[in-house]
Amino acid sequence: MTAPAILWFRRDLRLSDQAALAVAAAAGPVIPVFILDDDTPKHRRMGAACRWWLHHSLTSLDASLREKGSRLIVRRGKCEEQLANIAEEFGAGQVHCLRHYEPWWRNAEKAVAKRLDLQCHDGNYLLPPGSLTTGGGTPYKIYTPFWRALKDHMPPANPSNGPREIAAPARWPGSDTLDDWGLLPTKPDWATGFAAEWAPGEAGARKRIAAFANAAADYDRCRNLPSQEGSSRLSPHLHFGEVSPATIWHCIADAGGSVDVFLGEIGWRDYAQNIILQFPDYGGRSARQAFDDLPWRSGAAADADLAAWQQGRTGYPIVDAGMRQLWTTGWMHNRVRMIAASFLIKHLLIDWRQGEQWFWDTLVDADYASNAVNWQWVAGSGVDSNMFPRIMAPLTQSEKFDAAAYIRQWVPELAELTDPAIHDPESFGQRPRSYPAKIIGHREARERALAAYDVMKARGN
């Protein structure tokens, strides 16, 4: 019998448009494997919200594999060790995988390749990160020219269907059970609201695409309105690779209207991967070194403010609504993410890395590249970023983007307030006792942030 090949799953939990699976399945028997490796990423081990998603996504993947005559083997430990053990015991000739670009996954691929015949394939991005360069042959650092160049290579190749059946090996390796891993929270179960929002897995991704296809033409307007369902909500499905970006492109690209704005967001995801390929430590180090001299707040008062932000108790309704939505559902509306991030960095003058870490643990779509690039964009510390002195006014943003219904949903103690008082109940003299006063005034916060920026500039001279 032909020696089996190992299919190494990571953030590519799908059977359709899966190049590694297609090559492995065409050659003979396949042993699909997912390894929970918390050692290789070290402090970047998967966050709690993503672990909830992972449990359900792997359950879905195993069911899909069984429909095709296969199954998913799950192991825990270092990837190279677990894969080598399976290969040795079952005589596997090759290991196939989709290439990943997070620094710990690149290290893992190198470690596996030293011991086994590792075949890496592309397919998690519109173009392989690093393959698109400027006329001078250097990687892009600025999004706009990157996106302009990327569009010249679009549309991507048509997505392929998954194999009709997957040949099984003569016998199967031993496997953990997902329950062994304790991915789901129990004491307490803080994820009770997740199931109402999400259907992890490839089938859930297809349903999400179908639902969004009808609204994609109006994306540019609706994506900024928290009270409307204007976002695609495809980010966690993309993060876990339950759908390829090529599949989304071909399903959505002809929607008309402002669909190009949405396609640009898919391009931003590619851009973020290109940035971490150039700067692997982007999630923990400011790209602009001058920001090392910015006097971020620390100590007990800053810690208390950070906790208030995390809990949605800042006294700014739009910020609090977003933070409570995040805790309840593992997701936050895109416009509100920017408002909440800006508030932490510039109103509270707390290091952007504190916010990045909180999002890493609480978002079901916590992608290393996108999370880091977005936080550094807001902070002004990124290679392509907003300027620090451009300080977002959350109360103005709330009214401008008609967030009243969104606030009523997530900050129920304000639900009885009318517009425009709900955006700023304290200024209207209508703040309920159950809702906190503003943690800091907008003008005071702005002046403090600009003063800190001036200190940073002076230290750099």
Burial 211-232 (b: 16+ CB within 10 A, else e): ebbebbbbbeebbbbbbbebbb
Bridge partner list, 96: 7, 119
Would you call the peptide bond into 128 cis, given omega within 30 degrees of 0 as the criterion? no
CA 100 to chain centre: 14
Burial 381-400 (b: 16+ CB within 10 A, else e): bbbbbbebeebbbbbebbbe
Catalytic-role residue among 53, 104, 268, 377: 268
Q: Is 352 a catalytic residue?
A: yes
Q: Is 375 a catalytic residue?
A: yes
Sheet containing 118-121, strands listed edge to edge, beginning at the edge strand earlier in sequence: 73-76, 30-36, 5-9, 95-98, 118-121
259: left (phi over 0), alpha (psi -120 to 50) or beta: alpha
Catalytic-role residue among 8, 352, 358, 360: 352
Q: Which residue has the tokens 């499905």?
A: 237
Catalytic-role residue among 81, 197, 265, 399: 265
Q: How far, in Å, CA of 199 to CA of 131, rounded?
A: 33
Catalytic-role residue among 85, 296, 399, 426: 296
Catalytic-role residue among 105, 375, 377, 410: 375
Alpha-carbon torsion (243, 245, 250, 252), positive or negative: positive
Q: How far, in Å, CA of 295 to CA of 306, rounded?
A: 16
Catalytic-role residue among 334, 386, 399, 413: 334
Which of 200, 4, 173, 210 is CA-nearest to residue 95?
A: 4
Query: 353 φ, ψ to 5°?
Result: -65, -30
Q: Is 52 a catalytic residue?
A: no
Q: Is 296 a catalytic residue?
A: yes
Residues with active-site annotation: 265, 268, 296, 334, 352, 375
